[in-house]
Amino acid sequence: MRDASAPLSERFFGRPAVPRVVVFTGSAEEVQRVVRIANKYRTPVLPVCFGTNMAGITVPTVEGMVIVDLKRLNRIIEIDEESMTATIEPAVSFGRLDAEARRHGLKTVCKVGGYTGGLVGNFVTANMRPYNARYGWTDPVVSLEVVLPNGELLRTGSQAVPGFEKLNPYVRLCFGPDLSDCLEEVLVRSGS
Amino acid sequence: MKSFLSLEDFLSELREAVGEEFVSTAVEDLLLT
């Protein structure tokens, strides 16, 4: 039971703890390596990008954990005008993608995380869904590349298909179950 | 399974994985910035 006299933030998110180390990863492969090492030493891992999430998902609550800081993963890899999709790394903010999209004659959906917040963290781990006045609630995640807790790499949607680089546009519903929803649920639970 | 007691081994493996300059134990300084 949580202490009722604790600050409100602690009652919701847990008591903040001091991590042991911060690792600044520069690629998915490096994230995989760090996760495997953390497993070997039985140390919890917390991924962080901008740290702006108001649901407390970036607050370390276990003493001695590893913070995996993803700010170096900040590339906008591609904006496809025809399918109106963007392929981005986790440390791309709403503001940056919006500015780049406008150069392509596009704009991003509602900035649910604020201009300085990250899209990936908010859309996936916080399960946010922007509202569009014309189309209603939208599902902004088409395809994911995820490092699993055991260090393996998993791709969802059409990215899971061999030779996916030739597929355009990406599609969320491809062969097999929609793992994006499954992962979002897992990530939301682990972040709470 | 190794325990966390071997902190130096743990940090050494992290440094080898991502490069020495990308591993920091000055966490309190980082959290304040």
Question: How do strand A85-88 and strand A21-24 relate by DSSP bridges?
Answer: unpaired
Instruction: Tell me, rounded to whole angstroms, the distance of Cα A140 from its chain centroid.
Output: 12
Residue A190 clears pLDDT 50, i.e. is over it: no
CA separation for the pair A183, A126 (Å, rounded): 11
φ, ψ at A40 (rounded to 5°): -60, -40
DSSP-assigned letter for residue A123: I
Nearest chain A CA: its distance from B1 CA (Å) = 7
Q: A24-47, pLDDT tens digit by residue? A: 999 999 999 999 999 999 999 999
Task: Identify the residue among A25, A32, A33, A41 best suited for mutation to test binding to B, counting B beta carbons within 10 A and taking the highest.
Answer: A41
> For A75, what's the count of Cα atoms within 13 Å in the CB-facing half-sphere?
7
Q: A132-177, pLDDT tens digit by residue? A: 677 677 677 788 888 998 999 888 877 777 776 666 656 666 666 6
- Taking the CA atoms of residue B21, residue B22, residue B23 and residue B27 in that order, the dihedral angle to the nearest 10 degrees is 100
Residue in the structure block whose two tokens are 């998915």? A28
Determine the residue type at A43.
T
Interchain pair B23, A20: CB under 8 A: no
Residue A187 clears pLDDT 60, i.e. is over it: no
Nearest chain B CA: its distance from A24 CA (Å) = 5
Q: What is the pLDDT of residue A112?
A: 63
CA separation for the pair A130, B27 (Å, rounded): 34
Report chain A residues touching chain B, CB-CB < 8 A: 18-26, 30, 33-34, 37, 40-43, 64, 66-67, 72
Interchain pair B25, A20: CB under 8 A: yes
Q: B9-33, pLDDT tens digit by residue? A: 999 999 999 999 999 998 766 665 4
Q: A47-82, pLDDT tens digit by residue? A: 988 877 676 777 888 888 999 999 999 999 989 888
- Taking the CA atoms of residue A26, residue A27, residue A29 and residue A31 in that order, the dihedral angle to the nearest 10 degrees is 60
Question: How do strand A21-24 and strand A66-69 relate by DSSP bridges?
Answer: parallel
Q: A84-135, pLDDT tens digit by residue? A: 888 899 999 989 999 999 999 998 876 666 778 888 877 776 666 666 677 6
Q: Give the count of Cβ contacts less than 8 A between chain A and B.
A: 61
Residue A187 host element (H or E): helix A179-191
User: A68 to chain B: nearest residue by CA?
Assistant: B23
Residue A192 clears pLDDT 50, i.e. is over it: no
Interchain pair B25, A23: CB under 8 A: no
- The structure tokens listed for A71 are 């700010």
Q: pLDDT tier at A7 (50, 70, 90 boundaries)?
A: confident
What pairs with residue A24 in β-bridges? Answer: A69
Determine the 3-state secondary structure of A141 from DSSP.
Answer: coil
B7 touches chain A (CB under 8 A): yes
Nearest chain B CA: its distance from A29 CA (Å) = 9
Q: What is the pLDDT of residue A43?
A: 92
Residue A185 clears pLDDT 90, i.e. is over it: no
Report how many helices (DSSP H) and strands (DSSP E) chain B contains, helices first.
2, 1
Nearest chain A CA: its distance from B6 CA (Å) = 9
Task: Identify the residue among B1, B27, B28, B29 best suited for mutation to test binding to A, counting A beta carbons within 10 A and taking the highest.
Answer: B27
φ, ψ at B23 (rounded to 5°): -125, 125
Q: pLDDT tier at B1 (50, 70, 90 boundaries)?
A: low
Q: What is the mean pLDDT of residues A7-35?
A: 86
